[in-house]
């Protein structure tokens, strides 16, 4: 009997089915544009759908609240007082009639392109926070056939938080789908990437960004912020204590980040426009409590000659022009609050031991900036199957209070964790092999890290073979300042545990038994053939 799908699996499958239908409509449609134009058109529609649904939910809640207080929500005076320009406390936006999804979904097909652009203009014109989210004339410039745009709008109407409520970042999931399904030219190096929820959860569980300022220098679609906010709500319940700062280079992705953060009611500062964090740092001079990031892996063509004497690497040396990994590290470090900032970010594994960055890595270790290195399993991401590393930088390894925990002095120690074998949880219904970290695994890694930080723990003996180990700076120096975990974590040679004489005896006995069975089978066949008159040579 086939195993029954869980509710979450069914929801995801249905979401992908809807998006697949939209993709096929756009592929066949005349004038639908490039991959990026198709993607942006779809994401804009999804945003209109989500923000419209939130508005409708907000109005419904307001009506119920008024009724509970003894007011008639249909009374003309009550409507004028409460519904003409309502204020919502949960991030819901008031939408003028022309921007509401109920208006869009009932518009005749021949008028849909104009109606959609009218809705976008209305949103941007009536709310300062939504300015810069949209491209003027998104739908009229494409001018899709009425039948095609109507089919797509009807399909998008099926995507609802009511149906897919378990998604932590629903608009991000739609973004991710179009990256993985729509085109092969959406690469990590181009900044077109999405960080899965379990990876964000791992970073957040480890560094605990529960209050203060959070910064992401390559924020993409804003999914890191959205998912972190959801986790903060689950842990502490008050995302108003968080101030979000970010920067994104690609204009379309910048607009998407604004849509995403706006949709979830998250106050944010993305620098006022799109630009490179390297060549035009829009938050220069600001320092943050927490930094969470997933920079493009092994980014090429990042360097500009004007960066040669940049203050961000004055104390460490200029990063190699051929690869931006250490430029990201030093950029992130330059924005951490000097006395207490903590950062969790992802890099390709090559950054752990590159020969051309050894001097920078040496200074980072000597200056006690690196706190933990966690190698993740392969195939965690949709767009790449390489193994990547989570780096934790900490400006204060001397100990003290941190979110109610008493931390010990961890100076000149680094915790190494290797999760490459944690591949037992495959993700089903994907076109490529993908694994995930479940909540219990994430909590285990966070516990390992937090226990290592805690008072009373002896860092010199903190180790479990094949999983983690605390290492002092002297041993790291002896290993040429490498941060490759396998150089420090004990790996047991399980082949040495085998009793080879006994094993060989067992194998030889099995071979003798197999040969005896084969001879017996041949004899039985020969006797059978002779019994019916056939001779066997």
At 154 the three-state DSSP class reads helix
Q: Which residue from 482, 294, 492 is spatially nearest to 376, judged by alpha carbons?
A: 294
Does residue 443 contact residue 469 with C-beta atoms inside 8 Å? no
1 vs 508, residue with greater confidence: 508
Q: Which tens digits make up the pLDDT trace of 195-209?
A: 888 999 999 999 999
* DSSP code string of 269-306: E-TTS---TTTS-TTTT--BSEEEE-PPTT--S---GG
Residue 421 DSSP symbol: T
Q: Is the pLDDT of residue 94 over 70?
A: yes
| Token pair for 304 | 């500009």
Does residue 422 contact residue 441 with C-beta atoms inside 8 Å? yes
Q: Which residue from 157, 179, 164, 163 is spatially nearest to 107, judged by alpha carbons?
A: 157
Q: Which tens digits make up the pLDDT trace of 308-322?
A: 999 999 999 999 999
Q: Is the pLDDT of residue 129 over 70?
A: yes
Question: Taken in order 256, 257, 259, 264, is the CA torsion positive or negative?
Answer: positive
- Enumerate the β-bridge partners of residue 370: 393
Does residue 103 contact residue 97 with C-beta atoms inside 8 Å? yes
Q: Most confidently modeled of 130-139, 440-449, 493-502? A: 440-449
β-pairing verdict for 370-375 and 388-394:
antiparallel
Of 42-56, 303-317, 376-390, 408-422, the one with minimum mean pLDDT is 376-390
What confidence score (pLDDT) does residue 521 get? Answer: 67
* DSSP code string of 82-116: HTSS---SSSPPP--GGG-HHHHHTS-GGGHHHHH
Q: Cα–Cα distance between 238 and 295 in angstroms, integer?
A: 28
What confidence score (pLDDT) does residue 520 get? Answer: 73
Neighbours of 325 (CB within 10 A): 23
Q: Which residue from 380, 495, 515 is spatially nearest to 438, judged by alpha carbons?
A: 380
Q: Mean pLDDT of all residues in the chain?
A: 84
What confidence score (pLDDT) does residue 536 get? Answer: 41
β-pairing verdict for 463-464 and 400-402:
unpaired
Does residue 205 contact residue 281 with C-beta atoms inside 8 Å? no
Those residues with Cβ within 8 angstroms of residue 417's Cβ, 6 or more apart along the chain or in another chain: 372, 373, 374, 375, 445, 448, 449, 467, 468, 485
Q: Which domains does the chain have, with CATH numbers?
A: 7-167 (1.20.1260.30), 197-487 (3.40.50.150), 499-537 (no CATH)
Q: Cα–Cα distance between 275 and 440 in angstroms, integer?
A: 38
Q: Is the pLDDT of residue 187 over 50?
A: no
Residue listed under structure tokens 């980040």? 257
Q: Cα–Cα distance between 152 and 198 in angstroms, integer?
A: 31
What confidence score (pLDDT) does residue 15 get? Answer: 77
Residue listed under structure tokens 């936006």? 93
What confidence score (pLDDT) does residue 477 get? Answer: 98
Q: Cα–Cα distance between 364 and 315 in angstroms, integer?
A: 10
Confidence of residue 347 (pLDDT cuts 50, 70, 90): very high
Confidence of residue 88 (pLDDT cuts 50, 70, 90): low
| Token pair for 453 | 């930080």
Q: Is the pLDDT of residue 290 over 70?
A: yes
Neighbours of 454 (CB within 10 A): 15
Q: Cα–Cα distance between 324 and 302 in angstroms, integer?
A: 6
Confidence of residue 272 (pLDDT cuts 50, 70, 90): confident
At 469 the three-state DSSP class reads strand
Q: Is the pLDDT of residue 158 over 50?
A: yes
What confidence score (pLDDT) does residue 1 get? Answer: 41
Does residue 235 contact residue 403 with C-beta atoms inside 8 Å? no
Longest dimension (CA), the chain: 107
- Enumerate the β-bridge partners of residue 343: 291, 393
| Token pair for 477 | 């120096």
What confidence score (pLDDT) does residue 354 get? Answer: 93
In order of 215, 246, 260, 285, 529, the CA distances from 220 in angstroms are 12, 9, 10, 22, 75
H/E/C letters for each residue in 457-499?
CCHHHCEECCCEEEEEHHHHHHCCCCCCHHHCCCCCCHHHHCC
For range 317-336, the mean pLDDT: 96
Question: First CA to last CA across the chain, in angstroms?
Answer: 49
pTM of the model: 0.81
Does residue 321 contact residue 369 with C-beta atoms inside 8 Å? no
In order of 265, 304, 432, the CA distances from 44 in angstroms are 17, 34, 27
* DSSP code string of 342-396: EEEEEEEGGGGT-GGGHHHHHHHHHTT-EEEEEEPPTT-SSS----EEEEEEES-
């Amino acid at each position: 009997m086939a195993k029954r799908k869980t509710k979450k699996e069914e929801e995801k499958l249905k979401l992908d089915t809807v998006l697949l239908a939209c993709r096929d409509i756009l592929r066949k449609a005349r004038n639908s544009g490039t991959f990026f134009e198709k993607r942006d058109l779809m994401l804009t529609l999804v945003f209109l759908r989500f923000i419209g649904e939130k508005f409708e939910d907000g109005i419904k809640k307001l009506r119920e609240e008024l009724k509970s207080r003894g007011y008639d929500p249909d009374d003309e005076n009550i409507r004028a007082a409460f519904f003409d320009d309502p204020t919502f406390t949960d991030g819901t936006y008031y939408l003028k009639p022309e921007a509401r999804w109920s208006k869009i979904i009932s518009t005749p097909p021949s008028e849909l392109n104009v109606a959609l652009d009218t809705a976008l203009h209305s949103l941007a014109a009536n709310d300062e926070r939504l300015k810069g989210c949209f491209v003027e004339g998104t739908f009229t410039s494409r001018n899709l056939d009425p039948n095609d745009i109507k089919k797509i709008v009807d399909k998008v109407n099926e995507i609802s938080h009511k149906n897919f409520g378990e998604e932590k970042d629903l608009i991000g999931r739609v973004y991710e789908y179009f990256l993985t399904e729509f085109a092969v030219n959406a690469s990590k190096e181009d900044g077109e990437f999405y960080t899965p929820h379990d990876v964000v959860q791992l970073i957040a569980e480890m560094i605990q960004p529960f209050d203060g300022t959070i910064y992401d220098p390559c924020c993409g679609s804003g999914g890191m912020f959205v998912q972190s906010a959801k986790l903060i709500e689950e842990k502490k319940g008050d995302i108003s204590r968080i101030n979000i700062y970010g920067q994104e280079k690609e204009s379309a992705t910048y607009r998407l980040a604004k849509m995403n953060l706006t949709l979830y009611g998250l106050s944010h500062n993305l620098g006022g426009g799109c630009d490179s964090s390297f060549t035009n740092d829009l938050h220069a001079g600001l320092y943050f409590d927490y930094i969470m990031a997933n920079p493009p892996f092994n980014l090429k063509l990042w360097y500009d000659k004007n960066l040669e004497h940049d203050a961000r690497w004055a104390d460490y040396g200029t990063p190699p022009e051929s690869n931006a990994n250490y430029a990201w590290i030093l950029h992130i470090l330059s924005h951490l609050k000097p006395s207490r900032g903590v950062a969790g970010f992802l890099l390709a594994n090559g950054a752990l031991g590159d020969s051309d960055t050894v001097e920078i890595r040496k200074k980072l270790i000597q200056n006690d900036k690196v706190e933990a290195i966690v190698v993740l399993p392969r195939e965690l991401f949709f767009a790449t199957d390489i193994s990547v590393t989570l780096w934790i930088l900490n400006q204060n390894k001397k100990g003290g209070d941190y979110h109610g925990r008493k931390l010990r002095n961890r100076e000149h120690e680094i915790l190494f964790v290797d999760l490459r074998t944690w591949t037992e949880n495959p993700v089903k219904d994907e076109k490529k092999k993908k694994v995930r970290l479940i909540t219990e695994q994430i909590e285990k890694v966070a516990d390992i890290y937090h226990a290592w930080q805690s008072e009373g723990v002896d860092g010199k003996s903190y180790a479990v073979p094949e999983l983690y180990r605390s290492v002092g700076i002297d041993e790291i120096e002896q290993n040429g300042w490498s941060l490759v975990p396998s150089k420090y974590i004990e790996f047991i040679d399980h082949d040495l545990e085998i009793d080879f004489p006994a094993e060989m005896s067992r194998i030889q006995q099995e071979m003798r038994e197999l040969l005896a069975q084969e001879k017996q089978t041949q004899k039985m066949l020969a006797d059978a053939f002779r019994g019916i008159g056939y001779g066997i040579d």
